[in-house]
């Protein structure tokens, strides 16, 4: 009675939002109606207004079809005989075409599969590549959805493969892999047709699918080892998904035809474990290697085990999610196909009322402005996290204490219990991963800096932002071997990040001399880092300055310094001159250098000025010696430095330019 008297009359309303809202109420109420005849009658009455909305402007068409996609999953009888309304027109925008194809997959049945496949085959010859890919993938989804029509779909895919259009072939291989999993033992005869296109594959997903097919049906392919070896030649240039697929396929071939694959699997395992830095790849390689050596039968049980068969609803919305989205028809949730909390970020901390009011004022920002705002907030929050960790603030440490012994006594400003100096380099964005998405969504974004922590320790101050449409968790981090042997001393502590803008801050403790590469340090200094999430593994480089690897150990003695400095020939001392950003007194110089772990040893006066001598020690026990002379009444500075490790000399010059804000002169006159 409520539906008939209060809701159904709104189906003829001129406002499309009112019509969709009425349909939402009807969809919710139909769950409580026991009579199938009444439900069918209501579905018939919902069909005409939906068809009417499909004649509106393209933007409204898109919104309506996103909602229809959900409605027909809950009530398949709606629009069941109206597939002709979703035929793409030549002047439809791309986003409308893609959504029409998605709805046609939902409406495909054994009754109309011939017409649907005919449309998809036609769309596969479009000039727009994205529309072509969507059409080919839709054919595969129809094959999985309709058992009796699967052979027709496979024949259609084979016809498309014979066109030899590169992107069509690659998309077809991806969907055929899923068809093989849905119907094992029925369509393997087409593998030879797929292998003919092996040389033209250049997309990671297509390569991974083809490698999976070769490994899964190795015993049916005469030259399966040779086919896999063709992928192995460019192993290091391939993305991680292809590398992992190749590793697993090689092990499958070893277990199925061991007499032919021994050399291949050894080569793949050696490359994966000895030459690759991807932690997932190396760990899986070691696991396979130990399984093959220790217990081949167990390896068969693990690697060749039965996988879940792809079901008819594998490409449909999960029931619990569908229930939530049906309740949000005619809202952004039904357009994004995400629950509201997935894209509405609510700050529950309530620590700062001003921040909350700013967030409310910024609701009307467009995407680019929002990303810029979040980036700025990431930097502010990271600085706040670092201050909480270190007990420091903006007013501390910039001038340092000038009291204490100038002749080499250890300063208390860098004692083991004191606050660390402010970072020389501000935190900067080290990863801004882009991922293609329907809404132009971004991926993982990381801002980081290497900082000194209380107690003389070193850490990575980090803010991580999740700009993908799904939650991000499963955090792990690993550092590649580096000159100073930095590696993390604790696990990466980050919570699960909400999608589309969720951020979190952390300070990761790291320590030197754990993973030394044995190579001289590069200039500028940087660390190669791999961060693993539940979505993917991300790689980035993190720069740092020399102060991160200097020990808080005080200066060498005056006698030792005079002896070493006097024995060094002039050609071993690098000399350079520069300009300070502002004049500096000797006391200011000593204090500033001591603050960043470079200690005053002794000074001497000469006719041309005052010369001060400093020393510092790196974490790998190399000393750097320096002579600094300041211009008496100006910003000029002269530096001579030397080290038993020559690569440290230019790094010390760069470090000094940041500590004292010096602009060094370059060229023959420097």
DSSP 398-436: SS----S-TTSPPPGGG-TTSPPPPPSS--EEEEEEE--
Host domain of residue 434? 367-390+425-544
Residue 357 confidence (pLDDT) above 70: no
Report the distance separating Cα 373 and Cα 386, nearest Å: 20
562 and 534 belong to one structural domain? no
Question: Predicted confidence band at 18 (pLDDT cuts at 50, 70, 90)?
Answer: very high
The confidence score (pLDDT) of residue 508 equals 92
What is the number of alpha carbons within 13 Å of residue 412 lying toward its C-beta?
5
Q: Is 653 a domain residue?
A: yes
C-alpha dihedral sign at 564, 565, 570, 572: positive
The confidence score (pLDDT) of residue 407 equals 41
473 and 499 belong to one structural domain? yes
**Mean of the pLDDT values across residues 384-392?**
49
pLDDT in tens, 110-145: 888 899 999 898 988 888 888 999 999 999 989 888
pLDDT in tens, 37-55: 888 888 888 888 888 888 8
562 and 465 belong to one structural domain? no
Q: Is 594 a domain residue?
A: yes
The confidence score (pLDDT) of residue 287 equals 92
The interaxial angle of helices 166-182 and 150-161, nearest 10 deg, is 150
The confidence score (pLDDT) of residue 322 equals 85
Q: Is 290 a domain residue?
A: no
- Which of 544, 567, 583 is at the close of a domain? 544
Q: Is 1 a domain residue?
A: no
pLDDT in tens, 234-244: 888 888 888 89
537 and 471 belong to one structural domain? yes
pTM (2 d.p.): 0.52
- Which of 515, 544, 573 is at the close of a domain? 544
Residue 627 confidence (pLDDT) above 90: yes
Q: Write the CATH number for 613.
A: 3.30.310.10
Percent of the chain with pLDDT over 70: 86
- Cα angle 239, 435, 60 (rounded to 5 degrees) comes to 145
Report the distance separating Cα 210 and Cα 213, nearest Å: 5
562 and 539 belong to one structural domain? no
Q: Is 384 a domain residue?
A: yes
Nearest 10 degrees: Cα torsion 487, 493, 498, 500: -30
What tokens appear for 412 in the block? 């208390």
Residue 637 confidence (pLDDT) above 80: yes
Report the distance separating Cα 232 and Cα 3, nearest Å: 63
**Mean of the pLDDT values across residues 74-82?**
82
The confidence score (pLDDT) of residue 477 equals 92
pLDDT in tens, 452-468: 888 778 999 999 998 88
Backbone φ and ψ of 133, nearest 5°: -60, -45
Report the distance separating Cα 633 and Cα 580, nearest Å: 12
Q: Write the CATH number for 462.
A: 2.60.40.1150
Locus of tokens 């590793």 = 247
Mapped onto helix, strand or coil, the DSSP state of residue 503 is strand
DSSP secondary structure letter of residue 279: H
The confidence score (pLDDT) of residue 35 equals 85
Report the distance separating Cα 283 and Cα 530, nearest Å: 14
Q: Which residues pair with 465 in a beta bridge?
A: 445, 503
Question: Predicted confidence band at 63 (pLDDT cuts at 50, 70, 90)?
Answer: very high
Q: Alpha carbon of 615 to those of 55, 282, 458: distances in Å?
A: 79, 41, 20
500 and 461 belong to one structural domain? yes
533 and 574 belong to one structural domain? no
What tokens appear for 575 in the block? 């000399």
Alpha helices in 233-295 (DSSP H): 240-256, 258-274, 279-294
**Mean of the pLDDT values across residues 284-291?**
90
The confidence score (pLDDT) of residue 347 equals 54
**Mean of the pLDDT values across residues 62-67?**
91
**Mean of the pLDDT values across residues 606-616?**
86
Domain count, the chain: 2
DSSP secondary structure letter of residue 6: I
Report the distance separating Cα 610 and Cα 589, nearest Å: 12
Q: Is 86 a domain residue?
A: no
570 and 539 belong to one structural domain? no
632 and 583 belong to one structural domain? yes
Q: Is 16 a domain residue?
A: no
- Cα angle 265, 271, 272 (rounded to 5 degrees) comes to 85
Report the distance separating Cα 442 and Cα 194, nearest Å: 34
The confidence score (pLDDT) of residue 374 equals 55
Percent of the chain with pLDDT over 90: 13
Q: Is 99 a domain residue?
A: no
Question: Predicted confidence band at 393 (pLDDT cuts at 50, 70, 90)?
Answer: very low
537 and 658 belong to one structural domain? no
- Which of 485, 512, 544 is at the close of a domain? 544
Mapped onto helix, strand or coil, the DSSP state of residue 624 is strand
385 and 438 belong to one structural domain? yes
479 and 566 belong to one structural domain? no
Q: What is the mean pLDDT of the chain?
A: 82
**Mean of the pLDDT values across residues 376-382?**
55
């Amino acid at each position: 009675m409520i539906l008939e008297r209060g809701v159904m009359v709104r189906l003829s309303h001129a406002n499309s939002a009112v019509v969709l809202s009425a349909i939402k109420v009807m969809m919710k109420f139909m769950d409580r109606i026991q009579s199938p005849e009444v439900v069918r009658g209501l579905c018939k009455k919902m069909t005409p207004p939906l068809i009417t909305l499909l004649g509106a402007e393209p933007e409204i068409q898109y919104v309506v079809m996103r909602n229809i996609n959900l409605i027909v999953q809950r009530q398949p009888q709606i629009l069941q005989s109206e597939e002709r309304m979703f035929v793409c027109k030549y002047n439809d925008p791309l986003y409308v075409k893609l959504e029409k194809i998605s709805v046609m997959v939902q409406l495909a049945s054994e009754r109309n599969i011939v017409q649907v496949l005919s449309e998809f085959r036609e769309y596969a010859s479009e000039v727009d590549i994205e529309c072509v890919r969507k059409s080919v993938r839709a054919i595969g989804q129809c094959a999985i959805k309709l058992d009796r029509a699967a052979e027709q779909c496979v024949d259609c895919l084979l016809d498309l493969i014979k066109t030899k259009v590169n992107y069509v072939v690659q998309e077809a291989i991806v969907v055929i892999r899923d068809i093989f999993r849905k119907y094992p033992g029925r369509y393997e005869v087409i593998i030879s047709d797929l292998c003919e296109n092996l040389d033209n594959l250049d997309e990671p997903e297509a390569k991974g699918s083809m490698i999976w097919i070769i490994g899964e049906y190795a015993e049916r392919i005469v030259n399966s080892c040779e086919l896999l070896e063709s992928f192995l030649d460019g192993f290091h240039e391939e993305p991680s998904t292809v590398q992992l697929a190749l590793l697993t396929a090689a092990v499958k071939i070893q277990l199925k035809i061991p007499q032919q694959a021994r050399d291949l699997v050894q080569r793949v395992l050696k490359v994966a474990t000895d030459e690759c830095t991807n932690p997932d790849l190396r760990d899986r390689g070691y696991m396979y290697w130990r399984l093959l050596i220790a217990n081949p039968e167990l390896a068969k049980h693990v690697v060749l085990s039965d996988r879940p068969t792809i079901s008819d609803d594998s490409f449909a919305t999960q029931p619990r999610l569908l229930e939530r989205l049906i309740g949000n028809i005619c809202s952004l949730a039904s357009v994004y196909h995400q629950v509201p909390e997935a894209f509405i970020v609510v700050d529950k901390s309530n620590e700062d009322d001003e921040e909350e009011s700013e967030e409310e004022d910024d609701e009307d920002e467009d995407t680019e402005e929002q990303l810029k705002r979040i980036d700025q907030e990431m930097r502010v929050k990271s600085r706040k996290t670092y201050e909480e960790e270190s007990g420091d603030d903006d007013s501390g440490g910039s001038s340092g204490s000038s009291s204490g012994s100038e002749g080499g006594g250890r300063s208390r400003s860098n004692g083991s219990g004191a606050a660390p100096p402010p970072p020389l380099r501000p935190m900067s964005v080290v990863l801004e991963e882009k991922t293609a998405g329907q809404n132009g969504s971004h991926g993982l974004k990381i801002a980081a800096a290497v900082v000194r922590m209380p107690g003389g320790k070193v850490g990575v101050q980090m803010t991580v932002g999740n700009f993908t449409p799904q939650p991000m968790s499963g955090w792990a981090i690993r550092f590649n071997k580096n000159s100073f042997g930095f590696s993390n001393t604790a696990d990466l502590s980050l919570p699960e990040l909400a999608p589309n803008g969720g951020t979190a801050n952390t300070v990761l403790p790291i320590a030197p001399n754990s993973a030394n590469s044995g190579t001289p340090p590069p200039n500028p200094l940087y660390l190669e880092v791999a961060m693993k999430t539940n979505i993917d593994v991300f790689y980035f480089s993190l720069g740092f300055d020399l102060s991160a690897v200097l020990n808080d150990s005080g200066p060498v003695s005056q006698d030792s310094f005079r002896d070493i400095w006097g024995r060094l020939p002039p050609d071993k001392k690098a000399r350079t001159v520069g300009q300070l950003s502002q004049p500096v007194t000797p006391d200011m110089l000593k204090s500033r250098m001591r603050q960043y772990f470079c200690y005053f040893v002794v000074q001497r006066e000469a006719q041309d000025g005052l010369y001060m001598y400093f020393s510092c020690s790196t974490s790998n026990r190399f000393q750097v010696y320096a002579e600094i002379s300041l211009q008496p009444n100006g910003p000029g500075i002269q530096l001579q430095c030397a080290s038993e490790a020559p690569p440290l000399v230019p790094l010390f010059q760069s470090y000094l330019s940041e500590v004292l804000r010096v602009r060094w002169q370059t060229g023959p006159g420097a």
